Structure 1
Amino acid sequence: MNPKLLRKLHRWLGLVFSLSVLIASGSGVLHNVMTRTQAPPPQAKPSGGGMDVNAIKLSVAEAVSKISEANPEVQAVNLRGIGGQPWYQIYTKTSRGPQYVSAIDGKVDSSRDEAYAAEIVKNFLAGSEVKKTDFLTSFNSEYINIFRILPVYRFDIGDALETRVYVSTTTGSVTRHTDKQRQFEATIFTNFHKLGFIPDKNLRDLVLTVLTFGIFLVACLGIALFFATRPKKR
């Protein structure tokens, strides 16, 4: 192989793809900073308003018979404490979300899902007043796919930090807790580490693949150049 050509390819390709190396190393530094400045993710610990178990009058089968579906195929039933009272949270194969039946008198109330979410958030934030601002059924630029769980409610406190909390009534827990400072760091990390500023996922994956392959190619050229230009034995 021509050492002169190898050297030229290595130099120019190295210059082009060094940007990817800079971005990757920058995201690595930021990741270490974030482990110091950001609290760990919330524990997936079910919570709610508590309940009086002695008040339960209905069995699971009786509660299921109260919902509007005929012969529903039940997939899961949870007992949730909402407003201090026990409620059955019922998931069926055909329902789009959970259905709630009072374990005391059999009343069906679909609004209990949002009320349950609000109680989870208030317990997490030690009783702070919150306001529901969104209900997510898909990921977005702030609640990205690494958080995995959907759907989730978003609640805002309205404080100076612009604190917001995402909560799942399926798991009965907070899935993300952030504010403007934490999100600023997270946005920079996503843009550096995953090229999050490219909105289309297919294009983003293609660019990441090309950049990664470019680094691999530059490394291979460096190895080839080493052997092509090594001193010859006498």
Structure 2
Amino acid sequence: MNSRLIRKLHRWLGLAFSISVFMAAGSGILHNVMTRTQAPPPQAKPSGGGMDVNAIKLTVAEAVAKLPEEKPEVQAVNLRGIGGQPWYQIYTKTSRAPQYVSAVDGRADPAMDQAYAAEIATNFLGGAAVKKTDFLTAFNSEYINIFRILPVYRFDAGDALDTRVYVSTTTGSVTRHTDRQRQFEATIFTNVHKLGFIPNKDTRDLVLTVVNIGVFLVACLGIALFVATRPRKK
């Protein structure tokens, strides 16, 4: 082996890729900090306002008949408590969003999905008033793909912490709870650990692959250099 060439390659490649090692180490430290400063993800359990089951007057079939669609192909039906009253949440094959029919009087209300989401957010935040600020059908820089569930409503509490929650009416729960400080830590982690500042996923994956190959190569050169420069027995 040419130890001089290996040493030179190891030195310059190590210098070129050392920044990725620093980023990985720094994000690892930040990850440990975040496990202590941030609460775990919310439990995926329904958190509506409850209901009076004795008020239910309509069967599922009768509720489906109240939909504006003609002969809808029903895929799922949930019974939700919204404002203390029972509502059928109905998913059909052709509808892009859940439809709501009152289990009390058969009234269909297209605005009930947002009202249900707001009630979930308010209950999660201990009764705090909330304001809808977004409706997401795709992931973005704050609500990233690790949260998996779409679509979701975003509600802001308007408090000093800049608290906001993301709500899925499909699961009937809050899927993400964050605020200014938590998001600051999460943004740093995403940018440093996953190169989130590169917007295009294909480009980001390519850069991560090249960087990791480079680090692997530097490690291999270090091993080769150790072997090439080991003391020789006389």
* Corresponding residue of 1:70: 70
Quick one: distance in 2 between partners of 1:74 and 1:221? 62
Aligned residues with identical type, % of pairs:
82
CA RMSD of aligned residues (A): 0.8
Match of 1:19 in 2: 19
SS of the residue corresponding to residue 134 of structure 1 reads strand
Alpha-carbon distance between aligned partners in 1 of 2:47 and 2:179, rounded to the nearest angstrom: 22
Post-superposition Cα deviations, 1:164-193, rounded to whole Å, max 9, x if no partner, equal: 111100000001111101100000010111
Measured against aligned partners, the alpha-carbon deviations of 1:71-121 in whole angstroms (never above 9, x if no partner) come to 222111000011111000001111101000111111111100000001101
Which amino acid in 2 is paired with 1:98? Answer: P
What is aligned with 2:43?
Answer: 43
Match of 1:192 in 2: 192
Aligned residue type for 1:203: T
For 2:147, give the aligned amino acid: F
Which stretch of the first structure deviates more once superposed, 68-77 or 112-121? Answer: 68-77
One-letter amino acid of the counterpart of residue 211, structure 1? V
Task: Classify the secondary structure of the residue corresponding to 2:154.
Answer: strand
Q: Which residues of 2 match residues 98-113 of structure 1 at below 5 A?
A: 98-113=98-113
Aligned to 1:52: 52
The structural deviation recorded for 1:233 is 2.6
Aligned runs of 1:1-234 on 2, under 5 Å? 1-234=1-234
Gaps of 5+ in 2: none
State the secondary structure of the residue aligned to 1:101.
strand
Please state whether the residue corresponding to 2:193 is helix, strand or coil: helix
In the alignment, the residues of structure 1 paired with residue 124 and residue 93 of structure 2 have an alpha-carbon distance, to the nearest angstrom, of: 31
- Letter aligned with residue 32 of structure 1: N
Secondary structure of 1:118 counterpart: helix
Letter in 2 for 1:9: L
Alpha-carbon offset, residue 230 of structure 1 = 1.6
Give distance in 2, aligned partners of 1:71 and 1:226: 75
2:26 aligned counterpart, secondary structure = helix
After TM superposition, give the deviation of residue 232 of structure 1 in Å: 2.3
Counterpart residue type for residue 223 of structure 2: I
**Long gaps (5+) in structure 1:** none
Give per-residue Cα distances to partners, 1:23-73, cap 9 Å, x unaligned. Answer: 000000000011111111111110111111011111111111111222222
| 1:133 Cα deviation from its structure 2 partner | 0.5
Query: One-letter code of the match for 2:59?
Result: S
| Counterparts of 1:127 and 1:231, CA distance in 2 | 72
Alpha-carbon separation, structure 1, partners of 2:84 and 2:33: 41
Q: What displacement does 1:231 show? A: 2.0
| Matched pairs, number | 234
Q: How far is the alpha carbon of 1:207 from its aligned partner?
A: 0.5
| Cα shift at 1:125 | 0.9
Q: Counterparts of 1:74 and 1:128 in 2: how far apart (Å)?
A: 35
Counterpart CA distance in 2 for 1:192 and 1:130 is 32
Q: Which amino acid aligns with 2:217?
A: L
SS at match of 2:34: helix
Structure 1 residue 17 displacement after superposition:
0.6
TM-superposed CA distance for 1:6, in Å, is: 0.4
Shift of 1:123: 0.7
